[in-house]
Amino acid sequence: MKIAHLISSQIFAGIEQHVYELSSFMSDVSDQVIVCDESIRHHMKGIETKSLNIGSRYSPYNVYKLIKFLHRNHISILHCHGAKASTIGRGIKIFSSIKVVATIHGHKKNNHVFTKLDAVIGVNKLLIKNIPRSTYIPNWFNPSHVGTPSSRTGPIIAIGRLEKVKGFDQLIKSWVNIKEQLEIIGSGPEEEKLRQLIHELRLSDRINLATNCDYHSIEDKYKTAKGLIVSSYREGGPRVVLEAINHEIPVLGSEVGIIPDLIPQECLSKPGKQESLQILLEEMVPFLSQLNMEGVKAALIENYSISNAAKKTKEIYEDLLKASS
């Protein structure tokens, strides 16, 4: 059994790390190859990769190129990650006999493409509602992170792509009465708007925008973080919450994705509602250092491990191949 994972993005972030870790973990039981853009290929150390400029998701030529590669390399299953890759996977399914699996990592306005594939995985249950042949397999915490408890001597952190859906503008506006240090870690199209907002609200002495952190250097942030804030309007996982809990870092966040399954109701705000977020922060930030996360971490290790995810994913692959034999 040989599996090809298809990624269409040009930035190495949460989805790409998910694919890399899953492929690495499963390489002991099946051959794995990651098909990705040349710009992120260097992150996939130790895993066979194929550089492919995906281009338009609707291009028949791109589908043809990929089918040719899959057949030449005797690929049993194509596992697509994200909506663009899954649209290409739909074309693969139409024009070849290769089985196509997709993982939905975040909310999409239209999930029609996923209903046409052989199997679909959702990182939270809402993502796969009304999608046939779907399975819930949650994200996991990074298996390479030892999970040493944070010293909680550093700033409170928020991590993610600097884009509108992450709600960082609302987080900044909600910080006006908070005296603690906040570090927002990420890069993206909203960077200049967020810097301007920090300046306008005169919060430069309390909020730092860190745009030059790679995935590995974020591990150092976890070692000292006093807390993690998630201000997103919507999320699939998110992985950063799992990583933070693994380091026993208190989490305050929007009621999105799997977050309500992991932290108490008292630590949640309504997504997209700045007033709700501001009330939460002003009530809970002063008590972050007192929050005990040992019990939450124990539940995390039991229910959100990569070994569980890999086992369920392997079962999906095997069932598809048995059905076609």
Domains of the chain and any CATH numbers: 2-140+305-324 (3.40.50.2000), 156-303 (3.40.50.2000)
| Residue the block writes with tokens 């209903």 | 115
Q: Which residues face 36 on adjacent strands?
A: 51
> Is pLDDT at 249 greater than 90 in this prediction?
yes
Kindly state the DSSP code that residue 150 receives in the 8-state scheme. Answer: P
Kindly state the DSSP code that residue 202 receives in the 8-state scheme. Answer: T
Give the confidence band of 146 by pLDDT, cuts at 50, 70, 90: low
pLDDT value for 135: 97
pLDDT value for 144: 63
Distance between CA atoms of residues 70 and 75, nearest Å: 5
> Is pLDDT at 22 greater than 90 in this prediction?
yes
Least confident stretch, 68-82, 139-153, 300-314: 139-153
Percent of the chain with pLDDT over 90: 66
Return the axis-axis angle of helices 239-246 and 294-303, rounded to nearest 10°.
120
Distance between CA atoms of residues 180 and 304, nearest Å: 31
| CA 305 to chain CA centroid, nearest Å | 15
Distance between CA atoms of residues 325 and 322, nearest Å: 5
Q: Which residues face 88 on adjacent strands?
A: none
Q: pLDDT by residue (tens digit) across 52-80?
A: 776 666 677 778 889 999 999 999 999 99
Distance between CA atoms of residues 253 and 228, nearest Å: 8
Peptide bond into 189 cis (omega under 30): no
Give the confidence band of 143 by pLDDT, cuts at 50, 70, 90: low
Cβ neighbour number for residue 92 with a 10 Å cutoff: 23
| Residue the block writes with tokens 């390399």 | 73
Least confident stretch, 65-69, 163-167, 213-217, 286-290: 213-217
